[in-house]
């Protein structure tokens, strides 16, 4: 078995589907053509964790998933099939669990403060006077909590309902009001966190505290078990969660490569626009969002952009351009959700400049305005400036681009302050040449970069993407809703570059973080080809549902509902509870009418009532059913086309659990629902015995299994070249892998249908005889008629026979 995966299969492990359950489907994964099981985090997480990213103990495998014995049985089963395992690693943060004692390192710091042996684990601003660690967990202000007797001392523990905190030695007998002020932590109302939190966290999640993995001791302690499993052959590589949150992503990856002997490692890095993964990162590549966007874009018709924009504005009143909403949302995040992080940057700048006579006339208010504006105008997740090193040209361009935009929103008086901040962020000489506080300047460089990512993610992905829905399938992680469609030429250029620079990167179409599954996005994509028909359908549905619409319901929420209803329509509409849960999350993320922290129950009930009424209205559902039925052939082509392209393009393809069949899932937690593997095993058995596919799910399973098995059979071809093949029709995308395998897929099928089909269109096949592994048909070389190649399916997978 190669330690480099040929294909991975993502499994969302949890108490209900643990290591033993995973072992039970290893045979099926092998028959599917998978080489490595790709496991969600396997270390001990907080009680009740549904995802595993809230680790509390790095020294143990998850007990809820079966612990070490069950994991060893899974490993043995994989070994029997000559398969391996990849684990999801969370180096950036740990859980702040309830009760806190479950995290031994945190418990120690809460008890002993800066004197704890674990104090260096956490990124805490203790302040000059040993300021206590903020624990913002109280349901009301501390004065009211004390007055109502909600705190209790139990031996050496302070209790607040389910929360437990250790008492500082020698304080147990103090009066309660004095006792709480003598601890190394400060209990506070939960709303205090966004303004005064003094430990770094994951984005805006107080219950995920960042750890200093850049410290060798922390790195070793948090990775020791993973390294042990890798050394013993029970793991073969890692997926690294959110490396941009680390102090030194490149340094972390270098240390990881050294400790693992260069194991296969991919990073969850979101690349914006034409941004590339830093070439000096020792890893195999990304987790595949860059590929997802290009593959999906192949099936989006650019000509639909303008009419869909007009419809969107008509129904919602939103602006035609997305960019103003991004700026608006990022400003809100900087002002509220990331205020504590911005404040810490401002205090750091003030300290640096107050100690330097040449810089001390720049005020905190000026620094706050400048830092806030830079964060708003930053258009990537991070600029990779390393303290003490000359910044790379790409990093300089990123920062200067943000500064240029920021200048437009700053008064003349703030321009000099911006110049000083820019010089400090780029590590340039500024102020006194002796650099009084070099450590603070280095910290500023790192901490600013660690703040850019949360502002991007919370501002764009978790706010703006829930406010603007010209075509909701484009509102994807790392995506740009204004980039409407990808031409075959653009896709070939991307794939060729991937094959040259990152041939072992991961590719994907669905993950646990995608806003919609690949199949929902494929369905929505066909709307780009027929905006007029879509507009007519939506207007009809709105007319039929007029009596169900509360005056409170806004146009954006309603339009998202209609797109989601169409995108998730299988044999019928999505279940009411799933749609209600999705829209509740969507409107809370949008933060316009209701939020997670300030729920507007009246508005949420209006949305929920609209959903239940529409999904019970037979006239509306029949109208939707008619429209959906007319799209079946187009949806089929897009579903199979994007899947085959992803599975055969350069990189290591990942299949998200269950998505080998048509899977109409929405954002987490909807995409973590249980998978029916017995159904999939039976369907694959039937196909392998020669049965014809019964439906689109069967066809998708056929394409998936045949493509993955071909990768296993011809590893040299897929490790070799990528050659675009000439076609006489832009509705076909075709390429060869090595000298052995050819992929052909139909793109924009609705537009192709309007043009009368393929006609005499051809694709030029290399010399030799070729067999379509999906149908068994054989074809020769030269100009082959696409109509004949795609007679049975809208895709073809050819192998030299």
Q: What angle do CA 665, 671, 672 make, to 5 degrees?
A: 150
Tokens of 504: 């072992």
Nearest to 405 by CA among 435, 447, 375: 375
Instruction: Measure the N-to-C terminal CA separation of the chain; round to a whole number of Å.
Output: 26
| Long-range Cβ contacts of 696-702 (<8 Å, 24+ apart) | 696/635, 696/636, 696/639, 696/640, 696/662, 697/661, 697/662, 699/636, 699/640, 699/793, 700/519, 700/639, 700/640, 700/643, 700/660, 700/661, 700/662, 701/660, 701/661, 702/774
Task: Please write down the HEC assignment for all residues of 425-442.
Answer: HCCCCCCCCCCCCHHHHH
Low-confidence stretches of the chain (pLDDT < 70) are: 1-2, 128-129, 433-436
Structure tokens given for 35: 């080489």
pLDDT at position 120: 94
Q: Which structure tokens are listed for 82?
A: 């000559």
Q: Minimal CA–CA distance to 644: which of 746, 783, 724? A: 746
What global pTM score does this model have? 0.96
> Are the CB atoms for 319 and 310 separated by under 8 Å?
no
Give the model confidence (pLDDT) of 356-414 as tens digits. 888 999 999 999 999 999 999 999 999 999 999 999 999 999 999 999 999 999 999 89
* Residue 676: half-sphere exposure toward Cβ, Cα within 13 Å: 8
What structural domains and CATH numbers belong to the chain? 8-92+213-287 (3.20.20.80), 100-210 (3.30.1590.10), 301-320+475-485+525-632 (1.10.10.470), 325-461 (no CATH), 721-801 (2.60.40.1180)
Q: What per-residue confidence (pLDDT) applies to 434? A: 59
Give the CA diameter of the chain. 90
**CA nearest 280: which of 139, 148, 394, 443?**
394
**Residues above pLDDT 90, as percent of the chain:** 95
What pLDDT does residue 720 have? 85
- pLDDT of res. 129: 62
């Amino acid at each position: 078995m190669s330690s480099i995966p040929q294909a991975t299969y993502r499994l969302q492990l949890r108490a209900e589907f643990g290591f033993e359950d995973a072992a039970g489907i290893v045979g099926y994964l092998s028959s599917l053509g998978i080489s490595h099981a790709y496991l969600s985090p396997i270390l001990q997480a907080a009680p009740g964790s549904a995802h595993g990213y809230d680790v509390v103990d790095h020294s143990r495998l998850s007990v809820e998933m079966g612990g070490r014995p069950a994991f060893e049985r899974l490993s043995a089963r994989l070994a029997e099939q000559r398969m391996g395992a990849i684990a999801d690693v969370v180096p950036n943060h740990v859980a702040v669990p309830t009760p806190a004692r479950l995290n031994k390192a945190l418990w120690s710091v809460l008890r002993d403060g800066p004197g704890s042996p674990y104090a260096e684990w956490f990124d805490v601003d203790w302040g000059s006077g040993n300021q206590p660690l903020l624990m913002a967990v109280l349901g009301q202000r501390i004065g009211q909590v004390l007055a109502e007797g909600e705190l209790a001392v139990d031996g050496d523990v302070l209790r607040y309902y389910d929360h437990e905190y250790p008492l500082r030695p020698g304080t147990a007998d103090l009066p309660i009001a004095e006792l709480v002020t003598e601890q190394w932590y400060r209990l506070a109302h939960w709303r205090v966190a966004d303004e005064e939190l003094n430990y770094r966290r994951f984005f805006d999640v107080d219950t995920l505290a960042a750890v200093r993995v850049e410290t060798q001791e922390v790195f070793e302690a948090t990775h020791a078990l993973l390294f042990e499993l890798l050394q013993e052959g029970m793991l073969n590589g890692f997926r690294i969660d959110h490396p941009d949150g680390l102090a030194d992503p490149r340094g972390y990856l270098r240390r990881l490569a050294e400790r693992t002997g260069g194991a296969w490692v991919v990073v969850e890095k979101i690349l914006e626009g034409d941004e590339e993964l830093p070439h000096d990162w020792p890893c195999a590549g990304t987790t595949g969002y860059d590929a997802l966007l290009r593959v999906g874009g192949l099936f989006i018709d650019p000509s639909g952009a303008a009419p869909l924009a007009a419809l969107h504005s008509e129904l919602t009143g939103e602006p035609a351009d997305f960019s103003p909403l991004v700026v608006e949302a990022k400003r809100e995040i900087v002002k509220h959700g990331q205020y504590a992080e911005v404040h810490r940057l401002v205090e750091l700048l003030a300290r640096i400049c107050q100690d330097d006579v040449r810089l001390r006339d720049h005020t905190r208010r000026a620094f706050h305005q400048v830092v806030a504006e830079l964060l708003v105008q930053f258009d990537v997740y991070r600029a990779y400036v390393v303290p003490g090193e000359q910044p790379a040209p790409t990093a300089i361009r990123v920062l200067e681009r943000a500064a240029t935009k920021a200048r437009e929103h700053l008064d003349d008086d703030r321009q000099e302050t911006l110049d000083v901040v820019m010089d400090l962020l780029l590590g340039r000489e500024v102020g006194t040449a002796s650099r009084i506080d070099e450590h603070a300047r280095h910290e500023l460089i790192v901490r600013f970069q660690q703040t850019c990512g949360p502002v991007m993610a919370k501002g764009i992905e978790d706010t703006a993407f829930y406010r603007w829905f010209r075509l909701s399938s484009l509102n994807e992680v790392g995506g740009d809703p204004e980039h409407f469609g990808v031409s075959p030429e653009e896709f070939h250029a991307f794939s060729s570059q991937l094959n040259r620079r990152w041939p072992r990167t991961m590719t994907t179409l669905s993950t646990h973080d995608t806003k919609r599954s690949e199949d929902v996005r494929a369905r929505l994509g066909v709307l780009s080809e027929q905006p007029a028909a879509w507009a007519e359908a939506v207007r009809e549905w709105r007319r039929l549902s007029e009596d169900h619409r509360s005056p409170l319901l806004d146009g954006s929420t309603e339009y998202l509902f209609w797109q989601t209803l169409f995108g998730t329509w299988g044999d019928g509409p999505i279940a009411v509870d799933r749609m209600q849960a999705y829209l509740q999350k969507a409107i809370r993320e949008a933060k316009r009418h209701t939020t997670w922290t300030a729920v507007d129950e009246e508005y949420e009930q209006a949305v929920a009532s609209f959903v239940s009424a529409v999904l019970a209205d037979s006239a509306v559902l029949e109208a939707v059913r008619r429209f959906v039925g007319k799209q079946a052939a187009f949806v089929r082509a897009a579903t199979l086309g994007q899947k085959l392209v992803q599975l055969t393009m350069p990189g290591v393809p990942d299949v998200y659990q269950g998505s080998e069949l048509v899977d109409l899932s929405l954002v987490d937690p909807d995409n973590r629902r249980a998978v029916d593997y017995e159904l999939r095993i039976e369907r694959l058995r039937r196909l392998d015995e020669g049965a014809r596919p019964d439906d689109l799910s069967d066809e998708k399973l056929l394409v998936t299994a045949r493509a993955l098995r071909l990768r296993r059979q011809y590893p040299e071809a897929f490790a070799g070249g990528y050659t675009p093949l000439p076609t006489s029709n832009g509705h076909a995308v075709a390429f060869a892998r090595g000298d052995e395998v050819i992929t052909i897929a139909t793109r924009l099928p609705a537009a192709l249908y309007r043009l009368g089909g393929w006609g005499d269109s051809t694709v030029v096949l290399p010399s030799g005889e070729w067999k379509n592994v999906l149908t068994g048909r054989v074809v020769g070389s030269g100009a082959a008629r696409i109509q004949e190649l795609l007679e049975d399916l809208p895709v073809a997978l050819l192998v030299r026979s």
